Every structure is written in structure tokens, then in C-alpha cells.
Chain A
Amino acid sequence: MRPIVGSLVAQDIRYTYRGSDTPSIEGISVAATAGEFLAICGPSGCGKSTLLFTLGLLLTPDRGSVEFDGIIMSDQSDRERASFRAKSIGFVFQDAYLDRARSILSNVVEPAVFSGMDWLEAKSRAQRLLKSFGLAMSPERRAHGLSGGEAQRVGLCRALICEPRYILADEPTGNLDRDSEDFVLSRLRDMADAGKTVVVVSHSARIGDYATRVVRHEQGKWLSDPC
């Protein structure tokens, strides 16, 4: 019997961007379970990021459904999906998307604001996470001067602040050097090993070294390779 908690199932997904005649993705089904590190690979423009954002409930599919823990979430209201994102999904973006005008601490605790977590609790967690990710600088320091690798570590801390069951990462190593890439991917693998469901979109050849399963887009078809 398929485990319910931590399961992410997308079935027959189609999504068309506004103003476009052709769907960006169509007929895609993908599933991940708790403790799994699923990598989605493919060339630019194949729709892998669109798939990830659909899985993350940021996009509402034209057709098909996205289930979390056995519950279809893709047809829920904006408020329900936002609440679920805040509490259960941790997003990691390609260039971290930090608010450079604000402090590192404020960036990390941002999801906690929307999940309703107590500020002091969020601050305490953020400080622990920053320390555990090797970020020794003051949390009150502005994010403006961070390097790409540091920014992505802050992004990882932000994704974990609410202790989500699902981690979705869109090209998290796209702008990083090899050492930083290794660091980020190994931490994502650690999260999967800790029981979280990790889905990473990447075109990095090295993703296969860390993923438990890879879904590839080749010659117009999506192929799944268990690692």
C-alpha cells in the first residue's frame, strides 16, 4: 500500500501560460514519496520548472491534479493552497530570490510569517539553521553583500524554517560553483534522508549522484530512471 504521509502525486498535468496557445506541459504524471529525492532533468524550455511550480501549487493546472498526502490540493482555493505552501512546502529558487534590502534573519523567517509561527520561535529556529548551514555572519546583516553560495544557503534555511514535509527546488545550483553545488545537493539529500519529500529541477549532470530517482525529458518524452 502506498504511503500517504509525504506522498506527492501529480496526474495527467497540463498547464498553458496566459497568452500562449500551446501548453507548456501536457499529460505529465509524476509521484514522489517521503524520503525520496526526485530529480527532474531536461533541456531548457521543456517545462520542468513549470512542472515544479505546478507541483508547488503556484500554478493551477488546466487539466489533471496534484495530490499531497492523498488529498487533491490543486483545486483548492488560493487561501488553502497558500496556507499549505506556507506550512508544508519549502521552496528553493535558482538565485535564492532573497530580499537584498533586508536582513538575513528577515529573509529566513519570511515563510514563518505566513504559516502563523510565533516570531520568537521563528527567530530561534532561523538562528539555529543559519549556524548549522555554516553561515557565521550576523543574522542582522543585510543580504545585499552575500555571495551566490551564501545566498543559496540562506535560501535553504528559509525553505526549512517551517519544517516542511516537501522541499521543491528550482535549479538550486544553477548559479553556483562546484563546491557550493556539492554542499547544496548534499544538504538536499540529507533532507530526503531525514524523511522529507524532495523534488529538484536541474539540468546539472551531477544531480544523479544525489537523487534517488531521476525523471528525464528526452526527445519529447518524460522517462523515469530509478537510481
Chain B
Amino acid sequence: MAFRPLLSEAWRSVRERVVESSVMVVLGIAFAVLVAAVIARGQEETARLRVGLAEDVSRVVELRPVGGGNTLPGWLPGTVRDLDGVTGVVVLGPVVDGVFSLTGRGPVPVRTLVAGAPELNLRPCPVGDSVSYVDVRAAEQVGMSYPLGYLVLGRDLSVGDRLPVADVVAVPQEWRLGPGAFRLCGGEADSATLSRILILANEISDVPRLETTIQNLVAPLGNSVSVSSASDVVEFRGRLAAGIGRQRRSNLRLSVFGVLGSYLLMGVVVGVSRRQGFGRRRALGASRADLLVISAAESLFQSGIGAALATVGILAIELSPAHPWADLSWLPWMVVLSLEASVVGILPVSLFVAFSDPVEVLRRP
């Protein structure tokens, strides 16, 4: 069988059957647009979910003492810092903000960094004795002049806020005031205990394992430490991600089956309307194989034109500021699928006619 004359004949037929070819081309474009829209929406949802999953809050394991008066042991921050999969540790509690007064002077705000905490907001804490600092606004009240480096508190900071510790440790030793220099003014100080440790995991997937490891680590402490994480959120988001993925695949499948069905329907309509033509071709010397090749080639050319136009359109949209697709790796598959669907659509009628009695086909349109 010589393919070239058959393909040429199919191409001429496609060019000359303007109405039929136009319908098939539009069908091809519609298929591409439908698939592209479903994929764009899926990619957008996936990207949004990924951003959400990448947020720090989803990667945190939190340790708290159980009961109001309890504290966390001082060794805990350093130990958890060394665990596999840990990016950093934020220790809350060693910072004590309170209103103190020196003998003979008025009360001033003071922040005390408790010694021994390995890190504060991922920065090194003072080693040795705990160190207290006086608010810049109270410097003169305690007989010190600014900017000698005692004072680091921002005006809007409160207990638990992040503290620019690096600035603090640069303060010369001789200007630091030991805790003993101050006298607590009537219970206005916050707890000076290690009250909270936040552990940031490398990846969201590390969180469950890390939580289990830490639970084992604090098990000897009994029930004095609670370990919690955003695993519920993570699990929920995981389920959500899986759900979105399933939905996207389902949408894609529906689109593909819908378009395949459309091609099939169109193929049946076209095939039935050209049944007599198939019979004529058989009478004029077409073998069954010739008939199938020409039918498939006609459909391929028609859907190929549609897919090519759709591809150009999709590329143009992608290059525009709208930029709706994160990647276009699906584009070649869409084209292949479109071509396949068109051939599958026309084959049933072509096969039926090819193996029917040619005279019956010819004389009973």
C-alpha cells in the first residue's frame, strides 16, 4: 500500500470539505481550550496550596510546660537543636520584662536575659550570668547615659516579642547590670522561666517524625511537658492537597472523555454522512486498508489543524502578562491526545463500512 497518494487524497479532501473540516477544527480547538483551562486551574490551586504548606507555622513543633507553675528544663533547647531535621529553635521565657527600681530611684522597665538559654530567636543568648538591660527611656533614671549600649528594648516590644539580641551582646561587660542591681517592684515582673520552645522543622514532612522523637525525648519527664505541632493542620492540608489533586485528575478525565465522546459522536455523524462516499471509494478500487488510512488521515489532518491553532493560542496567552500556566509540559500530550481522539472517533464507522457489503453501503445511504 502506497501511503503518499492516500495521504495526499486525504489532505485534498480536508481542504475541499470546508464545512466539515471547519467543524472538526473547531472541535479540536475546543478540546485544547478545555484541557488547558482545567490544567491552568489545577496548577493555580496546587501553587496556592504549596505556598500555604510552606508557611513556617506548618513546620513548628511546640513544647510547653504542663500546669501554670511548671517550667521547661534548661537542657531541652540545646538537645532539640541537635535533632535531625531541625532548622532552628526559638526559646521563649528567658526574657523577663518587668518594672524594677534601684534603691533611691524611681521604677524603670528592665529586660533580663536568663543565662543558659542556648538561643533566642535563633541568635546566641548571653552565657554565664543572666543579664538585665534597661530601657533607653529610663537610662538617666538609673544614672547611665545613652548611648553607651545598655539599652536595646524597642518602644513597642512586649514579652515574647522577638528581641534583637545581637545588639545586646555587643554591650561591654562593664556596663551590664547584674540582676542583683535591681529590686523587683511588687510582683510586676513576668515569669522568668523557660516557658515555651518552638522548633522549626526543615520540611513539613519532617514534622510528624520530629514530634514523635521529641515526645520520646521528654517521656522521662512524665506529663510535665506537652508536645504539639501543626500536624493536624498539615494532615488537613495534605488531605486537601490530595483532594484537589483527585479533583483535578477527575476534571481532566471528564474533559478527556467528554472530548473523546464528542469526537466519537462527530466521527459517527461524519462517517454516516459519508457512508456512501466510502462505498464509492470501495467501488473505485479502494481496499479496506486504503479506506481506513484515508479516513484516519482526514481526521488527523482536521484535528491536527485544530491542535496547532490551539497550541499557538496557548503559547500566545502564556507569553502574555496573564501567564496562566506554571509549566507547559502537558501541551505535547494534549496535542497527541487530540489527534488520538479524532482517529478513535472516526474508526468505528470506518471499520463498519470497510467490512460491510460495499454495494449495500453504496446503494443504501
* Residues of A near any B CB (own CB < 8 A): 17-18, 49-50, 53, 56, 58-59, 78-79, 82-83, 85-87, 89, 91, 93, 97, 99, 101-103, 106, 110-111, 113-117, 119, 142, 158, 162
Contacts and interface: CB of A to CB of B under 8 A. Distances in A.
B284 A85 contact: yes
Given A82-B282, A97-B276, A102-B13, A17 B289 contact: no
Nearest to B287: A82
Contact of B285 (A59, A86, A103): A86
Given A58-B358, A83-B287, A93-B283, 20 more contacts: A49-B359, A53-B358, A56-B283, A58-B283, A58-B359, A78-B287, A79-B288, A82-B282, A82-B285, A85-B284, A85-B285, A89-B285, A99-B277, A101-B16, A101-B18, A101-B20, A102-B13, A102-B16, A111-B284, A113-B5
B284 A86 contact: yes
Nearest to B355: A78
A210 to B, nearest CB: 23
Interface string B266-297: 00000000001100111111111110000000
Contacts, number: 90
A102 to B, nearest CB: 4
A99 B280 contact: yes
Contacts of B9: 110, 113
Contacts of A17: 357, 360
A184 to B, nearest CB: 18
Interface string B1-15: 010011011001100
A85 B285 CA distance: 5
9 contacts: A56-B283, A58-B282, A58-B283, A82-B285, A82-B286, A97-B276, A97-B283, A113-B5, A114-B5
A158 B288 CA distance: 20
Select the residue from B16, B285, B359 with max chain A CB neighbours within 10 A. Answer: B285
Nearest to B13: A102
Nearest to B6: A113
Given A97-B276, A101-B16, A113-B5, A59 B286 contact: no
Interface in B237-269: none
A36 to B, nearest CB: 22
Contacts of A111: 284-285
Contacts of B276: 97
B362 interface: yes
A113 B11 CA distance: 12
Interface string B47-71: 0000000000000000000000000
Contacts of B280: 93, 97, 99, 110
Contacts of B277: 99
B329 to A, nearest CB: 39
A158 B280 CA distance: 12
Contacts of A59: 357-359
Select the residue from A79, A86, A110, A117 with max chain B CB neighbours within 10 A. Answer: A110
B111 to A, nearest CB: 89
Contacts of B12: 102, 106
B105 interface: no
B16 A82 contact: no
Contacts of A103: 16
Contacts of A102: 12-13, 16-17
A138 B12 CA distance: 17
Contacts of A87: 285
A147 B357 CA distance: 29
B339 to A, nearest CB: 23
Contact of B284 (A18, A110, A116): A110
Per CB-CB distance, the 9 closest pairs between chain A and chain B, nearest first, are: A86-B285, A114-B285, A82-B287, A111-B284, A85-B285, A102-B16, A113-B9, A53-B359, A79-B287
Given A79-B289, A119-B8, A158 B13 contact: no
A157 B287 CA distance: 21
Contacts of A49: 359, 363
Nearest to B363: A49
A94 to B, nearest CB: 9
Contacts of B13: 102, 106
A170 B357 CA distance: 17
Nearest to B8: A119
Contacts of B357: 17-18, 59
B293 to A, nearest CB: 11
Nearest to B276: A97
A114 B290 contact: yes
A92 B17 CA distance: 23
Contact of B17 (A50, A82, A101, A113): A101
Contacts of A58: 282-283, 358-359, 362
Contacts of B360: 17-18
Contacts of B20: 101
Contacts of A85: 283-285
Interface in B92-145: none
A115 B16 contact: no
A116 B2 contact: yes
Given A102-B13, A106-B12, A106-B13, A91 B287 contact: no
A119 B284 contact: no
A106 B284 contact: no
A97 B290 CA distance: 19
B16 A119 contact: no
